[in-house]
């Protein structure tokens, strides 16, 4: 169970929350789903900034609810829909298909990354 005793931020229809714990992508996604949500997925600048405020509070990079598709360098939301908003860091994504997950840096920009690293879990509801 995800105990939400950490940071909670509300934006529009979404609530973003973190318990401050780090996990690999699959475990982070699983804990968000068990709590009735999914991994934080920014759909616009306002949501990206809300997630960023949590990243800055914990001073840790966080996984986003975005996965690499079958085509190298092509990313989609975890529900399979195409991205309609991106904030890639300069020269990213650069994993050429080997980095299937996306993390948020502490400046709000995104980087493609391997999925087995431990990153901050931020869920959206």
Q: What is the pLDDT of residues 91-104, one digit of tens each?
A: 999 988 899 999 99
Tell me the whole-structure pTM to 2 decimals.
Answer: 0.90
What is the pLDDT confidence band of residue 70, given thresholds at 50, 70 and 90?
confident
Across the range 37-57, mean pLDDT stands at 96
The sign of the torsion formed by the CA atoms of 108, 50, 40, 48 equals negative
What is the pLDDT confidence band of residue 4, given thresholds at 50, 70 and 90?
low
Homologous superfamily, domain 9-124: Mannose-Binding Protein A, subunit A (3.10.100.10)
Residue 1 pLDDT > 50: no
Residue 35 pLDDT > 70: yes
CB 28 within 8 A of CB 119: yes
**Whole-angstrom Cα distance, residue 40 to residue 121?**
8
pLDDT at 3: 52
Domain residue ranges in the chain? 9-124
CB 11 within 8 A of CB 124: no
């Amino acid at each position: 169970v995800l105990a939400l005793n950490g940071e909670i931020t509300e934006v529009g229809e979404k609530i973003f929350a973190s318990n401050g714990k780090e996990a690999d992508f699959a475990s982070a996604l699983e804990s968000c789903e068990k709590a009735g949500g999914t991994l934080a997925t920014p759909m616009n600048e306002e949501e990206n900034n809300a997630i960023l405020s949590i990243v800055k509070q914990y001073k840790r990079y966080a996984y986003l609810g975005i996965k690499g598709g079958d085509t190298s360098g092509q990313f989609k939301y975890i529900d399979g829909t195409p991205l309609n908003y991106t904030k890639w860091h300069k020269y990213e994504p650069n994993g050429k298909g080997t980095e299937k997950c996306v993390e948020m840096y502490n400046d709000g920009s995104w980087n493609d990354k391997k999925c087995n690293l431990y990153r901050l879990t931020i869920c959206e509801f």
